[in-house]
Amino acid sequence: MPQQFTTDTLSLSFGMPQWAVSALNDLPEYLPSHEERMAAVIEFSRKNFQNGTGGPFAAGVFERDSGRLVVIGVNRVMPYNCSSAHAEIMAMSLAQKMLGVYDLGGEGLPAHELVVNWRPCAMCFGAVLWSGVRSLVIAGDGPELEEITGFDEGPVHEDWRGELARRGIALTEDVLRDKAIEAYREFNASQNVVYNARQGEA
Amino acid sequence: MPQQFTTDTLSLSFGMPQWAVSALNDLPEYLPSHEERMAAVIEFSRKNFQNGTGGPFAAGVFERDSGRLVVIGVNRVMPYNCSSAHAEIMAMSLAQKMLGVYDLGGEGLPAHELVVNWRPCAMCFGAVLWSGVRSLVIAGDGPELEEITGFDEGPVHEDWRGELARRGIALTEDVLRDKAIEAYREFNASQNVVYNARQGEA
């Protein structure tokens, strides 16, 4: 018998882990500096694999100027069987839901910033462009993430900095780079599973 | 008072429109040819904007060899206030949920194919790589989509064909290209809203 599609089979739902609910409530309402924002994000990335609730990635949405915390999301690929449930997608989607907008840079809103514990992967780089955030803060870019963890980051556009600039998204790099790398090394030592797409198999 | 985070504020949910539930149940269980698969996808893309349930994009996941329909998803950006709710992300996430896997190319599964009514945008191109699909079928690529509809497709990697090939994802192009373009022209004439990210604003 062919499959019957229902409203239920055609629905998706995602949540953050219980520890993240508590940890978000424990954070101050405002994190004024980039370092404070990144430290919180890195801490969430670490808690995520320590608790077995996803990969070593977190992303925070903040009001750019005031530092008001909107939300921090974490990678949920494995718990939800969803290869798109990267931290950036979770964080930006949650922020958009909470604010009731599909454009975080829309009129009447304060400018929003995304803070991530490495340069977003090929998919998430595109998602950043579409989200409406006006600034992106990353702990670093370069081969270390792939080398340490084994994750494939995919084909980000060669002129990714220019593509951000052309869309009015300011970039701040190398914020707590060493601390981010330290967390990746800890992840690597933890024997967690690394999921990558197929590699050239037929 | 600072915001209180709860399990509920930290959750996301997405569904397909009611018409899509019926339309999926009306389709045959198997669509053997690429043309049949693409015709169904284009029809869903058209119904989506005609019904005011999202943008003119749809994506279908099929078993590559048999043509068994797994699911067709449509763009849900505006209804769900989520800039990442593109058709490809919806379709691949639904297929992964229905099959209980984060890797549609995992062991023991038949090869899966994604069929889309144009080349995926920068974000969705990355999502295709991470999904585990073994083949991608597109109606076309090139400037027509952006020119007709005004949508920004973003910086897809220059060697996108090579990046697919390196990950073992076969590409089939120009399937029902004219029919896809016809639907975009119809969308353009319909006065629907086109959402794009900020363009170089501060």
Rounded-to-integer distance, Cα B137 and Cα B1, Å: 51
pLDDT recorded at residue A197: 60
Rounded-to-integer distance, Cα A116 and Cα A34, Å: 11
Rounded-to-integer distance, Cα B174 and Cα B4, Å: 50
Give ipTM to 2 decimals. 0.94
Give the number of other Cβ atoms within 10 Å of residue B13's Cβ: 11
% of chain B beyond a pLDDT of 90: 87
pLDDT recorded at residue A196: 67
Q: With helix as H, strand as E and coil as C, how does chain B read?
A: CCCCCCCCCCEEEEECCHHHHHHHHHCCCECCCHHHHHHHHHHHHHHHHHCCCCCCCEEEEEECCCCEEEEEEECCCCCCCCCCCCHHHHHHHHHHHHHCCCCCCCCCCCCEEEEECCCCCHHHHHHHHHHCCCEEEECCCCCHHHHHHCCCCCCCCCCHHHHHHHCCCEEECCCCHHHHHHHHHHHHHCCCCCCCCCCCCC
Q: What is the mean pLDDT of each run of 10 residues along chain A (202 residues)?
A: 87 98 98 98 97 96 98 97 98 98 96 98 97 98 91 92 97 98 93 62 40
pLDDT recorded at residue A154: 92
CA neighbor of B121 nearest in space, from B145, B104, B94, B105: B145
For residue A171, the 8-state DSSP code is E
- With a cut of 60, say whether residue B161 has pLDDT above it: yes
Q: Cβ(A62)–Cβ(A91) under 8 Å?
A: no
pLDDT recorded at residue A1: 55
Buried b / exposed e across B72-106, counting CB within 10 Å, b at 16+? bbbbbbbbbbbbbbbbbbbbbbbbbbbbebbbbbe
pLDDT recorded at residue B200: 43
Per-residue pLDDT tens over the stretch B82-111: 999 999 999 999 999 999 999 999 999 999
Interface of A with B in 80-119 (CB under 8 A): 80-85, 89-90, 92-94, 96-103, 105
Rounded-to-integer distance, Cα B1 and Cα B119, Å: 46
% of chain A beyond a pLDDT of 70: 95
pLDDT recorded at residue A190: 87
pLDDT recorded at residue B40: 98
- Asked if A5's CB is within 8 angstroms of B132's CB, the reply is no
Rounded-to-integer distance, Cα A55 and Cα A118, Å: 13
Residue B188's Cβ-side half-sphere holds a number of Cα atoms within 13 Å equal to 14
- Asked if B105's CB is within 8 angstroms of A201's CB, the reply is yes
Q: Cβ(A123)–Cβ(A88) under 8 Å?
A: no
pLDDT recorded at residue B190: 87
pLDDT recorded at residue B196: 67
User: Binning pLDDT at 50, 70 and 90, where does residue B175 land?
Assistant: very high
Residues of A in contact with B121 (CB under 8 A): 126, 130
Residues of B in contact with A100 (CB under 8 A): 81
Q: Which residue of B has its CA nearest to A76?
A: B102
Tokens 């945008």 -> residue: B121
Interface of B with A in 1-30 (CB under 8 A): 2-7, 9-16, 18, 20-21, 24-25, 29
* Residue A194 contacts B, CB cutoff 8 Å: no
- Asked if B198's CB is within 8 angstroms of A134's CB, the reply is yes
Say which of A78, A93, A167 has its CB closest to residue B197.
A167
* Residue A169 contacts B, CB cutoff 8 Å: yes
pLDDT recorded at residue A39: 98
Average pLDDT over residues B113-136: 98
Q: Which residue of A has its CA nearest to B76?
A: A102
pLDDT recorded at residue A31: 98
- With a cut of 80, say whether residue B191 has pLDDT above it: no
CATH number belonging to the domain at A18-187, selected among 1.10.3720.10, 1.10.8.60, 3.40.140.10, 3.90.1150.10: 3.40.140.10
Burial of B50 (0-12, 13-18, 19+ CB in 10 A): middle
The partner residues of B118 in beta bridges, in order of sequence, read none
- Domain extents in chain A: 18-187
CATH dotted code for B30-189: 3.40.140.10
User: Tokens for A157?
Assistant: 């556009």
* Residue B120 contacts A, CB cutoff 8 Å: no
Cβ partners under 8 Å of residue B166, min gap 6:
A199, A200
- Asked if B2's CB is within 8 angstroms of A10's CB, the reply is no
Rounded-to-integer distance, Cα A117 and Cα B4, Å: 24
Give the number of other Cβ atoms within 10 Å of residue A99's Cβ: 17
Q: Cβ(A135)–Cβ(A111) under 8 Å?
A: yes
Residues of A in contact with B131 (CB under 8 A): 83-84, 197
Average pLDDT over residues B142-156: 90
Per-residue pLDDT tens over the stretch A91-116: 999 999 999 999 999 999 999 999 99
User: Tokens for A143?
Assistant: 């081969």
Per-residue pLDDT tens over the stretch B34-81: 999 999 999 999 999 999 999 999 999 999 999 999 999 999 999 999
- End-to-end, the C-alpha distance of chain A in Å comes to 30
pLDDT recorded at residue B201: 44
pLDDT recorded at residue A202: 36
pTM of the shown model:
0.95
CA neighbor of B197 nearest in space, from B132, B143, B122: B122
- Rounded mean pLDDT of chain B? 94
Residue A48's Cβ-side half-sphere holds a number of Cα atoms within 13 Å equal to 27
